[in-house]
Copies of this chain bind each other. A is one copy, B any other.
């Protein structure tokens, strides 16, 4: 997947840890071996190494592998160090309260867009996206915003890679997407309607670092039946305010 100076073991570690999700908290050796297509002996050795460091642990009850205590420590540290999440959370909460829609915080990572924080809409019918979910960078408001502010050559590389259709309105033509990204940079926000999921819309604005780089996007998304022309404009305004507020906090956060 990478042309980087990949260290295979790190890739493997990520594969293993990423096998755990909110829907899947335990794996037996055999299951995981099949899931990742790694021979059991190899995987077994590897899992023991992870266990020795508390990265994984075996549930004494069913002898399945679970996440250990160490990811907890790392996560807590990371949360303390990255001002972003900490700062963003309260802002996201009030944005969700004001709008009644789901609020998403996303970052661009290596050809993908990852959701790193969310606050759910109180409505039963809402956009539900788990923290950790990855999306291609060309579809959806948050994705497009993040893509729009990448370095030009990286944008071109992504365009070269192809633009698979995910939903009815996914932009699949490179030139159309180039123009859309230019429009986003000009307007300072992105809008999407059924680009990734049927019946869903979204808006998103960039979050700027104190150094003037786009480091994340804050997005608002929901079902189309709760959307109207006016509410979109309103939502864009609120989203932009939230993004600005977060950016401003970041200036104070670090040193």
Contact = CB atoms under 8 A, between A and B. Distances in A.
B14 A55 contact: yes
Contact of A4 (B9, B49, B70, B77): B49
Interface in A67-85: 67-82, 85
A6 B9 CA distance: 12
13 contacts: A4-B52, A10-B46, A11-B53, A25-B77, A26-B81, A54-B109, A61-B254, A67-B78, A69-B107, A72-B78, A72-B79, A74-B74, A75-B75
A177 interface: no
A48 interface: yes
Given A71-B74, A114-B69, A211-B60, A45 B5 contact: yes
A38 interface: no
Given A10-B50, A48-B4, A213 B60 contact: yes
Interface string A121-132: 000000000011
B45 A7 contact: yes
Contacts of A70: 14
Interface string A1-24: 010111101110110010011100
**Range of interface residues on chain A?**
35 or more
A68 to B, nearest CB: 7
A77 B77 CA distance: 15
A70 to B, nearest CB: 8
A139 B52 CA distance: 22
Nearest to A81: B25
Given A20-B81, A54-B114, A74-B75, 12 more contacts: A4-B48, A4-B49, A5-B45, A5-B48, A10-B13, A14-B53, A61-B211, A66-B81, A72-B78, A72-B79, A72-B116, A75-B76
Contacts of A228: none
Contact of A75 (B2, B48, B60, B72): B72
A110 interface: yes
Q: Closest 8 A-B residue pairs measured CB to CB?
A: A75-B75, A9-B9, A7-B49, A67-B78, A71-B74, A71-B78, A25-B81, A73-B132
Nearest to A53: B14
A162 interface: no
Contacts of A26: 81
Interface string A73-116: 11111111110010000000000000000000001011000101
